[in-house]
Amino acid sequence: MSTLTTTAETPAAAAPARPAYKVTGRRVLASEWVKLWTLRSTWITLGLGLLFLVAFGLIAASRYKSGIDSGRHMDRDFADATGLSLSLFGTNFAQLALGVLGVLVTAGEFSTGMIRSTLTAVPRRLPVLWSKATAYGVVALAVATFGVFVAFLFGSHIVSGTPAAMSFSHAGVVRSLLGAGLYLGLVGVIGTALGALLRSVAGGISVLVAALMLIPGLISLLPSSWQDNISPYLPSNAGEAMFALTHDSTTLSPGAGLLVFVGWTVLALAAAAYRLVRSDV
C-alpha cells in the first residue's frame, strides 16, 4: 500500500524545456535565403537571365562582325556600336527575367497563402520584406555582374580588329559593366517590392513590364519639350545612364542615373512596407 502511495505522489518527470529562439534580422535573412534556393523557379529564372545576358550579347557581337566582314550596309545605331554596347545588348531581356523572379519571391507566398505562416513567425512583418529584398537583390547582383563580364569577355574577342573593338582597359568599360550589374540587381529588388505591394504575380509582372518598357514608349509620343523633362528620369532610362559609356545633354550622368534609380527602388520598397504594415494579409 505504501508503495502505491509513493508512486502516486511522485511528480511526473518534467519534459525537457525547448530552447527559446529569438527572432532576429540575421535569422529571418537566413530563413529567406533558404526559401529562395528551395524554389525551382529560382534556378530556372536565374539561368534564363544569365543566358539572355550572355547569348544575346554574343549574337549581337557576331552579327556586327559578320556585317563588317561582308561589307553590308548596317543601320546607323548598329554601325556606331561599341564592343561594350554589343555585349550589353541582352540587358533589356535579362531585366525581365530577374525582375519577374523578384515578383515571384514575394507575390508567390501571398498567392499560396504561405505568407501567413511567415508573418506568424515574424510578427513585426518588415524584417520579412527587408530580408527577401536583400537575399534576392544580392543574388541578382551577383548573377548579373558575372553575366555582363562574361558577355564582354567573349564579345570583345569576337569584334576584335573592328571599329567596335574594346578591352577592359578602355576608359569607362569596367565602370559600365559594374553599373549594368548593379542596375539589374536593383531591378530584382524592385520586383520583390512590387510583389509585396500588389500581392499578385500577374499584377506585379504587369507593372514591372509597364514601368521598364511600355511607359518609355508612350513618353516618346509626347512633344519633344516634355520628353526632355520626363524621359531621363524614367526608371529604365535612369538605369541605362548607369552603364552607358557616353552621355549627352538628353541623358543623365552615371552618378545622377544611379541616384534616380535608387530613388525609384526606395519608393517601391516604401510603398510595399506601408501596405505590409497597414493592411491584413
Q: Is the pLDDT reported for residue 75 higher than 80? A: no
Q: Which of 177, 167, 155 is nearest to 63 (CA)?
A: 155
Q: How far from chain centre, in Å, is Cα 273?
A: 18
pLDDT of residue 7: 45
Helix then strand then coil, in percent of the chain rounded to 5, is: 75, 0, 25
Long-range interactions of 121-129: CB distance < 8 A, separation 24+: 121/23, 121/31, 122/23, 122/28, 123/23, 124/23, 125/276, 125/277, 126/273, 126/276, 126/277, 127/23, 127/25, 127/28, 128/28, 128/32, 128/276, 129/192, 129/193, 129/196, 129/269, 129/272, 129/273, 129/276
Residue of 45, 266, 212 whose CA lies nearest to 144: 45
Q: Which residues contact 228 (CB under 8 A, 6 or more apart)?
A: 250
| Rg of the Cα atoms in the chain | 25
Range 147-159 average pLDDT: 95
- Among 26, 28, 19, 25, residue whose Cα is nearest residue 118: 28
Backbone φ and ψ for 18, nearest 5 degrees, come out as -80, 140
pTM beyond cutoff 0.85? yes
The overall average pLDDT reported for the chain is 88
What backbone torsions phi and psi does residue 171 show, to the nearest 5 degrees?
A: -60, 130
User: Mean pLDDT: which of 158-162, 182-186, 222-226 is highest?
Assistant: 182-186
Domain boundaries, given as residue ranges, for the chain: 25-278
pLDDT at residue 131 in the model: 95
Distance CA 191, CA 115 (A): 17
pLDDT of 80: 78
The confidence band for 1, taking pLDDT boundaries of 50, 70 and 90, is very low
pLDDT band at residue 241 under the 50/70/90 scheme: very high
Show the CA angle centred on residue 30, arms to residues 259 and 267, nearest 5°: 25
Looking at per-residue confidence, does 36 or 6 come out higher?
Answer: 36
List all residues 6 or more positions away from 85 whose beta carbon is below 8 Å from its beta carbon: 245
Q: Which of 41-45, 127-131, 163-167 shows the lowest mean pLDDT across its residues?
A: 163-167
Instruction: Give whole-number Cα distances, 44 to 47, 49, 202, 229, in Å.
Output: 5, 9, 18, 39
The cell numbers describing 258, all together, are: 544611379
pLDDT tens readout for residues 24-69 = 878 899 999 999 999 888 999 999 999 999 999 999 999 888 888 7
Q: How confident is the model at residue 132 (pLDDT cuts 50, 70, 90)?
A: very high
Q: Which helix (H) or strand (E) holds 10?
A: none
